[in-house]
């Protein structure tokens, strides 16, 4: 306790040093606690799934046709699931959720349905909270329709009624609820209800007059890999069972992705990158505090030598500095942990809203324990060099303090600390610059449309027959156009970025080609859309050639189509596409006879499947197509959100039972797509700025300490005729060696981090020269300033005053 009181007195007598150390540690530890809480809540906290590391996602692709995702038929899933020696269990899942209407007690609510095979819950190792999982008998053609509810739908729509099990509701027909999943089970993300996929496909196959289990590709596979099976070996094993080109397989290359990467998406890499960044920031804070402590030990080295002369032991000296370190870290850690909950809340507010399990992020006991462990490790890292240096104090230093030179050990330690600070700062700055440049590149992408001031919503008219949906939509659009502040309105089958990489693909046969299976297989795959005349105007999709759809493009008239620019170049290179004819399916249930369309216009490519995904677009005129165009888009002259109530009112005047949902703005959709990059930019830039400031302050203090220790040397050199520039260069030379080592280490660390977050980079590579150059220039700038100021000050003081001790550097 006597040592504690003594250490407290020393800290109180040096408020500048004490405050600098405590604030530095508090910032680093607080940031560490916030990031760790996010990483733990999202990525580390156990999922309600058995051993998710053994799960993998599998689908097909066709790189030759620029198709990164090709869905599987149910028959292909069955053959892959039975591949010898690959999966313990495997399940089929719809590649995207499908809309389904829940009609209960006179109300209609659109839900998101995941069609899954009966083995789905067994493969994941997930158990229902209530009722039972799907059984083999549920997943057969003509089986009684059953469903399992998500915890959110159970509480929101059924009031958490435990008596819901066995109840029959209308989910596109009478359906029995057999189970409810526990809270936190959310796979596929956004699912409201799970139903057996085979009855769904069998029913649709009857409507489409085809064997949907064999001919329709809408599925992906999730499999639990057997022990000893590597992900790299899975494609070969599955290709051996069903090689590319086999009837019923539509892709040419098997794609395998770990479940965690599929589930979390780019957020996983973003959070791990931020965790690495905050660890670097904590290490940098340790280096900074260590430097401050070493400077403090150096300034009190003579005092410690006197204590040794008076009978103190080296262990006593070491204990004193250990206690002082512990007090600093206790104060800094307490402040950092106190700020932890607020910083965690701020981090959650900045994070993308669709981050999985974001609602589970909190500053709890586990996070506090992890923060305490990080603080303890940091304290040991900081205290070790300080204690070793303090314990090396010798009695001779009392007699020779006036002529003693610097301790080589202290010099080497400070040199390492300088190099580490520069390395950590450069690594953070380069990583932040890479992400910032990626975000800028994302914002510069030509989306093919203007998202500002556009509101969009999904429509499900209940009073209109299926064959007249687009007529109903046309009538609604006419009413919406008459509303105040509406500049343009239209509708499309699938609005941009509606289902991620999933959409409606179609084959095409060009005029002059033979209409056979081989031609269809070799033809480019098109992204099929249906659009009303006002869609392109409302979205401001530029017309490049020809004309847009008009009201004259109606049933009974010549079938017409519009193509995207890339589709036009691919199908008719060097030719005018307007007037060309294409043969496409009708997409009418039961109708297998394709119909010729005449191309009347070419528009810009629109990013329907992803910000970095350009497809070959083809559009059917809504009044000539069977596929419903029920994604409404309305451009406003003011705030588009103010139009929502009026649009919904007009829709209900036409159909009181209409379901209106997925209401948002195109600007919000684009913001959601870029949210992981924007989040990383905010946090990494903040960390980079903090590191930048810490490096500047730390380097200034270390160089000033070196200059102060060399004051007599500089005085003698000046007295013997050296120029002030020589003194400045001599002071900067030592710093230059340390900085060069730090720059080299930081560049290597940044390259490793860049490769780890490669999927987050857009338009830049991990070895992006401009990013490295910008970061290096900034770091060199702050290092130069921090080194030059104390060196110039030393060179400007009268050497006689330095030698007499009348002045200090």
Cα–Cα distance for residue pair 254/246, rounded to 1 Å: 13
Q: Is the pLDDT of residue 787 over 90?
A: no
- CA-to-CA separations, 153 to 94, 389, 469, 564, 661, in angstroms, rounded: 19, 64, 28, 40, 16
**Average pLDDT, integer, range 730-739:** 74
pLDDT digits (tens, 9 = 90+) for 255-292: 999 998 888 877 777 788 778 878 877 887 887 787 77
- The pLDDT of residue 34 is 85
Q: Is the pLDDT of residue 646 over 90?
A: yes
Closest by alpha carbon to 116, among 87, 138, 101?
A: 138
Angle at Cα 42 formed by Cα 41 and Cα 46, nearest 5°?
75
Beta-sheet pairing, 219-225 with 87-94: antiparallel
Task: Name the helix (H) or strand (E) containing 112.
Answer: strand 107-116
State the residue for tokens 């050296």: 722
pLDDT digits (tens, 9 = 90+) for 299-333: 676 777 777 777 777 777 778 888 888 888 889 88
Q: Is the pLDDT of residue 335 over 70?
A: yes
Beta-sheet pairing, 659-665 with 454-460: antiparallel
- The pLDDT of residue 805 is 54
Q: Is the pLDDT of residue 179 over 90?
A: yes
Cα–Cα distance for residue pair 185/126, rounded to 1 Å: 8
**Rounded-to-5 percentages of helix, strand, coil across the chain:** 55, 15, 30
Instruction: Decide: helix, strand or coil at residue 597.
Output: strand
- CA-to-CA separations, 233 to 52, 86, 219, 239, 253, in angstroms, rounded: 19, 9, 22, 10, 13
**Average pLDDT, integer, range 570-581:** 95
- CA-to-CA separations, 282 to 433, 600, 747, in angstroms, rounded: 20, 62, 19
Cα–Cα distance for residue pair 265/298, rounded to 1 Å: 51
Token duo for residue 157 = 């729509």
Neighbours of 433 (CB within 10 A): 24
Q: Considering only the C-alpha atoms of the chain, give the largest distance between any 2 of them, rounded to a whole number of Å.
A: 110
- The pLDDT of residue 402 is 45
Q: Is the dihedral of CA 401, 405, 406, 408 positive or negative?
A: negative
Closest by alpha carbon to 562, among 706, 677, 410, 448?
A: 448
Instruction: Decide: helix, strand or coil at residue 364.
Output: coil
- The pLDDT of residue 598 is 97
Cα–Cα distance for residue pair 485/487, rounded to 1 Å: 6
Burial of 363-397, coded b for 16+ CB within 10 Å and e otherwise, reads beeebbebbeebbeebbeebbebbbebbbbbeeeb
Neighbours of 183 (CB within 10 A): 15
- The pLDDT of residue 698 is 67
- The pLDDT of residue 403 is 46
**Average pLDDT, integer, range 57-72:** 87
Q: DSSP string spanning 479-509?
A: HHHTSTTEEEEEEESS-TTSSTT---EE--E
Selected residue with higher pLDDT from 128 and 247? 128
CB 418 within 8 A of CB 699: yes
Selected residue with higher pLDDT from 266 and 491? 491
CB 684 within 8 A of CB 428: yes
CB 76 within 8 A of CB 201: no
pLDDT digits (tens, 9 = 90+) for 543-554: 999 999 999 999
Mean pLDDT for the chain overall: 84
Residue 447 phi, psi dihedral angles, 5° rounding: -70, -15
Mean pLDDT check: name the lowest of 416-425, 602-611, 618-627: 416-425
Token duo for residue 789 = 């100021």
CB 201 within 8 A of CB 212: yes
- The pLDDT of residue 398 is 47
**Average pLDDT, integer, range 203-216:** 72
CA dihedral 53, 58, 62, 63 (to 10 degrees): 0
Confidence tier at 202 by pLDDT (50, 70, 90): confident
pLDDT digits (tens, 9 = 90+) for 377-430: 888 877 787 777 777 666 555 445 444 444 566 667 667 777 887 888 888 888
**Average pLDDT, integer, range 451-480:** 87
Token duo for residue 702 = 């270390």
Please give the distance of CA 466 from its chain centroid, rounded to a whole number.
39
Cα–Cα distance for residue pair 425/742, rounded to 1 Å: 9
Instruction: Decide: helix, strand or coil at residue 328.
Output: helix
- The pLDDT of residue 799 is 63
Q: Is the pLDDT of residue 251 over 90?
A: no
Q: 552 preceded by cis ω (within 30°)? A: no
pLDDT digits (tens, 9 = 90+) for 181-192: 998 888 898 899
Confidence tier at 703 by pLDDT (50, 70, 90): low
Report the percent of the chain where pLDDT is more than 90.
37
Token duo for residue 556 = 């009974």
Selected residue with higher pLDDT from 484 and 351? 484
DSSP 8-state code for residue 181: P
Q: Is the pLDDT of residue 612 over 70?
A: yes
Alpha-carbon Rg for the chain in angstroms: 34
CB 747 within 8 A of CB 772: yes
Q: 300: buried, middle or exposed (CB in 10 Å: 19+, 13-18, 0-12)?
A: middle
Cα–Cα distance for residue pair 84/86, rounded to 1 Å: 6
State the residue for tokens 């919000």: 668
Give the bridge partners for 109, in sequence order.
Answer: 102
Closest by alpha carbon to 695, among 785, 632, 577, 595?
A: 785
Give the bridge partners for 225, in sequence order.
Answer: 87
Neighbours of 352 (CB within 10 A): 20
CB 295 within 8 A of CB 701: yes
Q: Is the pLDDT of residue 207 over 90?
A: no
Cα–Cα distance for residue pair 638/636, rounded to 1 Å: 5
List, in order, residues 6 or more apart from 540 with CB less than 8 Å away: 449, 450, 635
Mean pLDDT check: name the lowest of 112-126, 226-240, 454-468: 454-468
- The pLDDT of residue 138 is 93
- The pLDDT of residue 699 is 67
Token duo for residue 541 = 């999709």
Closest by alpha carbon to 379, among 322, 423, 298?
A: 322
Neighbours of 563 (CB within 10 A): 31
Q: DSSP string spanning 725-744?
A: HHHHHHHHHHHHHHHHHHHH
Cα–Cα distance for residue pair 447/429, rounded to 1 Å: 29
- The pLDDT of residue 583 is 95
Neighbours of 131 (CB within 10 A): 17
DSSP 8-state code for residue 72: B
- The pLDDT of residue 807 is 47
Beta-sheet pairing, 560-564 with 617-621: antiparallel
CB 185 within 8 A of CB 48: yes
Confidence tier at 538 by pLDDT (50, 70, 90): very high
Q: Is the pLDDT of residue 649 over 90?
A: yes
């Amino acid at each position: 306790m006597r040592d504690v009181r003594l250490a407290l007195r020393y800290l109180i007598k040096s408020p500048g040093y004490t405050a600098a150390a405590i604030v530095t540690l508090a910032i680093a530890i607080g940031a560490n606690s916030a990031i760790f809480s996010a990483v733990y809540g999202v990525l580390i906290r156990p999922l309600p799934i058995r051993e998710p590391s053994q799960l993998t996602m599998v689908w097909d692709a066709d790189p030759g046709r620029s198709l990164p995702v090709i869905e599987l038929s149910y028959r292909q899933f069955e053959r892959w699931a039975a591949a010898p020696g690959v999966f313990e269990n495997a399940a089929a899942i719809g590649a995207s959720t499908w809309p389904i209407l829940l009609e209960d007690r006179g109300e209609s609510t659109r839900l998101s349905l995941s069609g899954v095979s009966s083995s789905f819950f067994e493969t994941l190792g997930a158990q229902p909270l209530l009722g039972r999982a799907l059984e083999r008998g549920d997943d057969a053609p003509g089986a009684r329709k059953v469903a399992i509810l998500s915890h959110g739908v159970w509480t929101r729509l059924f009031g958490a009624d435990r008596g819901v099990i066995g109840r029959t509701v209308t989910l596109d027909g009478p359906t029995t609820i057999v189970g409810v999943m526990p809270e936190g089970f959310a796979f596929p993300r956004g699912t409201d209800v799970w139903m057996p996929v085979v009855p769904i496909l069998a029913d649709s196959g009857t409507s489409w007059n085809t064997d949907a289990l064999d001919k329709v590709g809408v599925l992906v596979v999730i499999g639990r890999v057997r022990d000893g099976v590597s992900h790299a070996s899975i494609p070969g094993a599955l290709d051996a069972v069903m090689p590319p080109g086999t009837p019923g397989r539509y892709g040419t290359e098997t794609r395998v992705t770990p479940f965690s990467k599929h589930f979390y998406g780019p957020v996983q890499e973003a959070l791990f990158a931020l965790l690495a960044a905050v660890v670097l920031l904590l290490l940098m804070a340790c280096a900074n505090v260590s430097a401050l402590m070493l400077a403090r030990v150096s300034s009190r080295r003579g005092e410690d030598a006197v204590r040794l002369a008076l009978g103190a032991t080296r262990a006593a000296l070491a204990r004193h500095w250990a206690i002082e370190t512990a007090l600093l870290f206790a104060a800094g850690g307490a402040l950092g942990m106190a700020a932890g909950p607020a910083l965690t809340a701020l981090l959650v507010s900045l994070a993308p809203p669709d981050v999985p399990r974001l609602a589970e992020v909190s500053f709890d006991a586990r996070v506090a324990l992890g923060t305490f462990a990080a603080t303890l490790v940091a304290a040991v890292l900081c205290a070790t060099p300080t204690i070793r240096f303090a314990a090396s104090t010798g009695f001779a230093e009392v007699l020779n303090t006036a002529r003693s030179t610097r301790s080589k050990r202290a010099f080497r330690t400070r040199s390492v600390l300088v190099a580490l600070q520069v390395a950590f700062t450069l690594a953070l700055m380069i990583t932040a610059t890479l992400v910032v440049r990626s975000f800028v590149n994302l914002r510069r992408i030509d989306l093919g449309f203007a998202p500002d001031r556009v509101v969009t919503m999904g429509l499900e008219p209940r009073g209109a027959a299926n064959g007249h949906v687009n007529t109903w939509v046309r009538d609604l659009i006419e009413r919406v156009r008459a509303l105040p502040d509406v500049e343009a309105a239209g509708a499309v089958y699938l609005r941009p970025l509606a289902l991620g990489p999933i959409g409606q693909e179609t084959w095409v046969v060009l005029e002059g080609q033979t209409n056979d299976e081989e031609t269809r297989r070799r033809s480019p795959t098109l992204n099929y859309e249906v659009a009303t005349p006002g869609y392109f105007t409302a979205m401001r999709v530029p017309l490049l050639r020809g004309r847009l759809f008009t009201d004259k493009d109606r049933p009974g008239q010549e079938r017409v189509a519009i193509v995207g620019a890339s589709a036009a170049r691919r199908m008719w290179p060097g030719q005018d596409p307007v007037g060309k004819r294409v043969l496409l399916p009708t997409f009418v249930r039961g109708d297998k006879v394709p119909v010729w369309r005449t191309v009347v216009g070419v528009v810009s490519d629109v990013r329907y499947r992803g910000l970095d995904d350009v497809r070959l677009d083809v559009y059917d005129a809504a009044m000539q197509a069977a596929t419903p165009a029920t994604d409404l888009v309305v451009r406003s002259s003011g705030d588009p959100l103010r139009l929502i109530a009026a649009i919904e009112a007009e829709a209900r005047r036409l159909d009181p039972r209409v379901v209106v949902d997925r209401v948002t703005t195109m600007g919000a959709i684009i913001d959601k797509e870029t949210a992981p990059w924007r989040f990383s930019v905010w946090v990494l830039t903040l960390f980079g700025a903090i590191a930048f400031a810490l490096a500047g302050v730390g380097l200034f203090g270390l160089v000033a300490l070196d200059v102060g220790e060399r004051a007599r040397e500089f005085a003698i050199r000046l007295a013997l005729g050296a120029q002030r520039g020589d003194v400045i260069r001599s002071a900067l030379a030592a710093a230059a060696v340390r900085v060069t080592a730090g720059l080299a280490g930081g560049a290597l660390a940044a390259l490793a981090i860049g490769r780890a977050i490669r999927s987050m980079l857009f338009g830049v590579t991990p070895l992006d020269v401009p990013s490295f150059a910008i970061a290096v220039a900034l770091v060199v700038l702050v290092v130069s300033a921090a080194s030059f100021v104390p060196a110039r000050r030393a060179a400007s003081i009268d050497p006689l005053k330095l030698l007499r001790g009348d002045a200090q550097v």
